[in-house]
Structure 1
């Protein structure tokens, strides 16, 4: 008998209604988007402006508010391709290794003589000893600083290589450690760029690694590439250094272990600082816009336990001495330590505007980029171009939908009308699923939806043609319909499984536009199979139960 049990009917109808309800907010895109933005602002700041309150109330809070995110090519935005200076990290590693090497060699000063650091390439640390005949002993001591490389490819290798020639000891990173360092640098850069972009409230950015040392950044909805560069291009490397003295210009003699850095305010000249910081921004746990004791914009900060202990110990031992706060190789403040500062919290003052204090706090919370970037490619895609793309995609979808509906109705009559109605439900389900998962719709994604429209009726065509064959064998209408669905099922499953596997491969191995196409195609395959097998069948069953026709025209 041609029947569908009650619980299956209820489930099919419930899925269709849920999908259409989740897709409905996309019909009121701007209103729902304003509502969501207001809620996000309330969550972040705890307060709303008059305009934000109006935007929040423009859409009922009890209704679904999920939207299909529009990609860069539909919404407009900024595109950047950045090259990360991974070699800068080598220098930082060598600088960090110098205090440990100095302490280890100093313990054997009686044997190897005086030690001092000499000029070297950025990726090497060269140390001169006073007794050249003991260079082998110095190499042996330096090798005790090596640690194993923690990677699958670097098993059994150390992170540094040590060699000696004449009176000079040379330490450099091993090849395995260089590869591991490059990978860590890129992963850290990706994560920090993602934090900075997310903190700015943008929607569905595309941030991915390309090649060995490049990062692709696409952010829909942002004003320009220059604005995006200003957000993510700053290294925001914060360190706290002891002040050794003042200098008249950048070429002043700093002395061993010291550096000369300019003040942010040019009127303050230059500072001579100890090269090794007491604490760094890596040990910050929080940074927020604040005001100083005079009411001027400032940034308050807090260290983790390790940083708090080092910060507290230093301030307790150096009351009355200046202490430089350095941001991106500029001294933004050099206050005199007035008292012991326990607890690891403090405030950065300077000639900030409110916006500068807010941006600095954002950058510090996100963390410092491990290395600088060079932007090799930048593009700004205007919203007008995105609107044109949406309109072109809409027209293509309407034309395709109209053609498919006309073909189905002319070919299969009432059953074709059932398939056309299921097709409309199928499109709503695609948008409903994408809204639920926060999917991003791109121009290739629209192509995937248009392709889905054509593919969605394939299963119905197989079923209807099979029903025609069964009717030719003098089967009754009910039996013909039942056999049509049963015998067409294997062909429907085979065709859609192979297409699903192909779309999965595109999603896993593809990038950018290819993945956007694959996402909508994957969702469309699932929803089209559901609507073809169950929704259309339910329509046929309900019609047949009501009309009980003796014969059907198909």
Structure 2
């Protein structure tokens, strides 16, 4: 009984230790982060507001918490910068943390032009012609869809997507790893996001019309819809890099309103070493 009580007491003491105590005992890593100001219509970068710094700190704490690092120490530096110290992480974990902290994860769903694959007399698609600057289609812009060709080699294909974003990261209620596909993230929309999705897809033609999913400025997939309208749930798939799906799910749940740069990563030695 005494041994059991001692074990419980030790567990309680351990769980109550502060980030400062754990850094002193085990060391860790320090990350200096810089919040980037937004750019106005004239291309000028705006100064960082206090609430923008607060939002970035909350997003970073949320991302680290979802990664399993609940005990972190955050200190504000000069204007627009703050330092995060994470106890007990090695160099490999620090690299993983650094990658996810700087990930913006801006998400947008855009309609793909139904004329995307129309060809001219020379066999060149409309998407390719717009991409090359030979034609303009009002309301649409040319982007590129990354994928693999029949031989499994990486390739890029021009795609014509709507300039107007139909849904964004602000419309997401939940993002989690798909239990059925290791390279996918299950997305659940909020009530307002669901309304937007229904309005966006209700006039689309199943098996014909496509939706482009744009992540951090890149079209990562553009599937054909199989039913209309779509509802509150959809899947982002094709995330084949190790840890990419988990990283995306965490980032989408804790989005950054402003871009964030990792300015410095430093090893913290345990006290007395």
- Shorter-chain TM-score tier: 0.7 to 0.9
Conservation of the 8 A alpha-carbon contact between 2:28 and 2:90 = yes
Q: Does 1:197 align with 2:64?
A: yes
* Equivalent-residue separation in structure 1 for 2:267 and 2:129 (angstroms): 43
> How far apart are 1:229 and its partner, in Å?
0.9
1:34-70 alpha-carbon deviations (Å, 9 max, x no partner): xxxxxxxxxxxxxxxxxxxxxxxxxxxxx77634243
Q: Following superposition, which runs of at least 4 residues in structure 1 exceed 6 angstroms of deviation? A: 20-23
- Gaps (5+ residues) in structure 2? 117-126, 148-153
Conservation of the 8 A alpha-carbon contact between 1:284 and 1:302 = yes
> How far apart are 1:207 and its partner, in Å?
2.4
- Structure (1 or 2) with the greater strand fraction: 2
* Equivalent-residue separation in structure 1 for 2:137 and 2:53 (angstroms): 34
Aligned to 1:379: 266
Aligned to 1:261: 143
Q: Does 1:247 align with 2:141?
A: no
> How far apart are 1:338 and its partner, in Å?
1.9
* Residues 66 and 21 of structure 1, relative CA distance in 2, 3 Å threshold: farther
Selected match of 2:15 from 42, 61, 66: 66
How many residues end up aligned between the 2 structures? Answer: 244
Q: Does 1:314 align with 2:200?
A: yes
- Normalising by structure 1, report the TM-score: 0.40
* Residues 202 and 183 of structure 1, relative CA distance in 2, 3 Å threshold: same
> How far apart are 1:334 and its partner, in Å?
0.2
> How far apart are 1:354 and its partner, in Å?
6.5
Selected match of 2:90 from 223, 226, 231: 223
Q: Does 1:369 align with 2:242?
A: no
* Equivalent-residue separation in structure 2 for 1:123 and 1:256 (angstroms): 27
* Equivalent-residue separation in structure 2 for 1:348 and 1:303 (angstroms): 13
> How far apart are 1:222 and its partner, in Å?
2.1
* Residues 379 and 310 of structure 1, relative CA distance in 2, 3 Å threshold: same
* Residues 330 and 305 of structure 1, relative CA distance in 2, 3 Å threshold: same
> How far apart are 1:262 and its partner, in Å?
3.1
Conservation of the 8 A alpha-carbon contact between 1:22 and 1:64 = no
1:323-361 alpha-carbon deviations (Å, 9 max, x no partner): 100111111110112212443111112142563222221
> How far apart are 1:296 and its partner, in Å?
5.4
> How far apart are 1:23 and its partner, in Å?
9.9
Aligned to 1:297: 183
> How far apart are 1:374 and its partner, in Å?
2.4
Partner secondary structure for residue 238 of structure 2: coil
Q: Within 5 A, what are the aligned runs for 1:117-516? A: 121-122=42-43, 182-224=49-91, 225-244=94-113, 245=116, 246-247=127-128, 252=133, 255=137, 257-265=139-147, 266-290=154-178, 295=181, 297-319=183-205, 320-352=208-240, 355-366=243-254, 368-381=255-268, 385-386=269-270, 389=271
- Structure (1 or 2) with the greater helix fraction: 1
- Normalising by structure 2, report the TM-score: 0.76
* Residues 184 and 251 of structure 1, relative CA distance in 2, 3 Å threshold: farther
Partner secondary structure for residue 188 of structure 2: strand
Partner secondary structure for residue 192 of structure 1: helix
Q: Does 1:87 align with 2:8?
A: no
* Residues 258 and 362 of structure 1, relative CA distance in 2, 3 Å threshold: same
Larger Rg: 1
* Residues 221 and 247 of structure 1, relative CA distance in 2, 3 Å threshold: farther
- Gaps (5+ residues) in structure 1? 1-19, 26-31, 33-62, 95-120, 125-177, 393-554
Conservation of the 8 A alpha-carbon contact between 2:178 and 2:185 = yes
* Residues 78 and 249 of structure 1, relative CA distance in 2, 3 Å threshold: farther
* Equivalent-residue separation in structure 2 for 1:303 and 1:195 (angstroms): 19
Conservation of the 8 A alpha-carbon contact between 2:101 and 2:262 = no
Query: What do you get for the CA RMSD once the two structures are aligned?
Result: 3.1
